Structure 1
Amino acid sequence: MLLASFLGVLMGLVMGLTGAGGGILGVPALVLGLGLTMTEASPVSLFAVGAAAAVGAIDGLRHGLVRYRAALLIALLGALFSPLGVFFAHQLPDKILMLLFSALMVLVAWRMLQREKVEVGPSDHGAASWGQKNCMLDQQTGRFSWTAKCTATLAALGAVTGAVSGLLGVGGGFLIVPAFKQLTDVQMRGIVATSLMVISLISLIGVVGAFHAGVTIDRMGWVFIGASIVGMLVGRRLCSLIRARTLQISFATLCLGVAACMLLTAVM
């Protein structure tokens, strides 16, 4: 139980520090640290990620940072496609799932290590002209202008996030955050808060689907979930004290190390 508590706090801590991406550490912690199979680890990880993300999302709602209409649309499509991912997760061999997860962690690490161009402008993406991005904020209302292109973009993002979430037991923040940065002119604080709300909704919906399929969570799993919430609270308090680039490099290095361990476990 002590190990489950430690790993849960660690995952929540990294999730709180990085904004969203730390949730990808849930499955490796449960598989490599606690000896669960991929199919056993996925619902526990989803529940832990969803509960921890909900804490951050509530904080974002309190400060008016969450783009809740966009979050609800993404979560709705995610809810529709998450069961599809859960279905395929139960059809694929455990080793294949571990190989897919390893590849995903390498991709996340590569994205983290890329240096972003810093531009001066009204948001952290610079002075984006109208039409440069798929979803633009109305300068008068501060809300999204809901064009057909914007709606389709966010719906597609929700579908992909939901399917990957159900398949591999991850929250999807590693998809949502870079997609929002690339496709919208929302400021980074709003992106993280919106991402956390989407993660919490999609993850908890995925958990419901897993429970419906007959999956259960044991006592050790509940300890891990509770500890992850504590870690999230601590991480959100510490995130302002550590440089963003330092966090990115540290998290990317951790992802590569965990991916290597997952790969070795899969091929042995």
Structure 2
Amino acid sequence: MPLVMPLGAAIGLMMGLTGAGGGILAVPALVMGLGLSMTSAAPIALAAVGISAAVGALDGLNRRIVRYKAAALMAVLGTLCSHAGIGLAHIIPDTVLTALFSAVMLIVSVRMLRRATAQGAGPLLRADRPCMLNPATGRLHWTRRCAGTLAGIGATAGLFAGMLGVGGGFVIVPAFRRYTDIDMHGIVATSLMVIALISLATVGSVLLHGTRIPEIGWVFVGSAVVGMIAGRAGARHVQPRLLQIAFALIAALVAVILAVRVAWPGLLG
């Protein structure tokens, strides 16, 4: 299908730029662009998101901006919770999953749009955030509150990864911005590492249970990797605020289209 490669590349590009956008759009792209069901699209989306995120995380590690201890903690909790998400995905009907996905996307897009348009109103850093960097070392100051916060973020991301076939970046990036004082480049790089670890562990579990990714799915995965490489190369040259606004508008549009497909299945084909 002619749409496979551009759709995959667009997903990888968006994720490389924002650390979040591509993961949440991968399933809708496969559902609406290629006509797959939610359950068929989920493992392909996870493979594309996981492998391309791993490529982006390697770039972040090379630049020494990945908070790898935080990423490891979130990935462990996320992987454990992803199994619960997989179980829920086999119980909940496909139409309900699609409606849930649409609602989550709409909420995320509205919040991200509000945050992006309000960025210029005041300073980004707040002293009361649970996870703060140590000014002397530049590393996170680990406390019980910080560890609990990061564990909760990872668990939530993993649940959505297993249930909806997303990488979890749409949870991780906004949560990192809210609860830590890490800069945006570090947030994106760390998010990509968590996404890679959770997604690859989840898709590995799915494949071990007998699910197979078709050839068209691997074409989508390869295209996403190419898009990721381009996105990481261009990320430092694009204003994060503009990217967040663009992603929020795209996510809102996709959420509405998915909701329409659930309510009126024959209307959009």
What does residue 253 of structure 1 align with? 249
Measured after TM superposition, the shift of residue 110 of structure 1 is 0.6
Is 1:180 the counterpart of 2:196 in the alignment? Answer: no
The match for 1:135 is: 131
Shift of 1:116: 3.5
Q: Structure 2: how far apart are the matches of 1:189 and 1:251? A: 17
Q: CA deviation at 1:117?
A: 3.6
CA distance in 2, matches of 1:177, 1:230: 22
* Aligned mates of 2:191, 2:239 — CA distance in 1: 21
Whichever residue aligns with residue 234 of structure 2, its letter is L
Residue 11 (str. 1) matches residue 11 (str. 2): yes
- 1: distance between equivalents of 2:133 and 2:239? 28
Give the superposition deviation at 1:265: 1.6
Structure 2, unmatched stretches of 5+, are: none
2:97 aligned partner: 97
1:26-37 correspondence runs (5 A)? 26-37=26-37
**What's the counterpart of residue 110 of structure 2?**
110
- For residue 240 of structure 1, report the CA deviation from its aligned partner: 3.7
Pairing partner for 2:259 from 255, 258, 263: 263
1:237 paired with 2:233, answer yes
Aligned counterparts of 1:226 and 1:191: Cα–Cα separation in 2: 25
**Matched ranges for 1:1-268 at <5 A:** 1-114=1-114, 115-118=117-120, 119-120=122-123, 125-126=124-125, 128-129=126-127, 132-267=128-263, 268=265
**Number of residue pairs aligned between Structure 1 and Structure 2:** 261
Note the C-alpha offset of 1:18. 2.1
Farther off after superposition, 152-161 or 139-148: 139-148
Give the match's secondary structure for 1:2: coil
Distance in 2, matches of 1:174 and 1:234, equals: 20
Mark the runs of 5 or more structure 1 residues left unpaired by the alignment. Answer: none
In 2, the alpha carbon distance for the partners of 1:254 and 1:160 equals 23
Task: Say if 2:5 and 2:223, in contact at 8 Å, map to a contact too.
Answer: yes
Counterpart code for 1:239: A
Identity of aligned residues (%): 51
SS in 1 for 2:129: coil
| 2-structure distance, mates of 1:175, 1:34 | 26
The CA deviation string for residues 58-112 of structure 1, in whole angstroms up to 9 with x for no partner, is 0100011001000000000001100110110111111001001111111121122
- CA 1:10–1:78 in 2, change beyond 3 Å: closer, same or farther? same
Given that residues 11 and 21 in structure 2 are in contact (C-alpha distance below 8 angstroms), is that contact kept between their aligned partners in structure 1?
A: no
Amino acid at match of 1:84: A
RMSD value, Cα:
1.5
Q: Distance in 2 between matches of 1:150 and 1:241?
A: 31
Q: CA deviation at 1:252?
A: 1.7
Q: Tell me, yes or no, if the aligned pair for 2:77 and 2:151 is still in contact at 8 Å.
A: yes
Q: Once superposed, which parts of structure 1, at least 4 consecutive aligned residues long, lie more than 4 Å away?
A: none
TM-score for both structures, normalised by structure 1 = 0.93
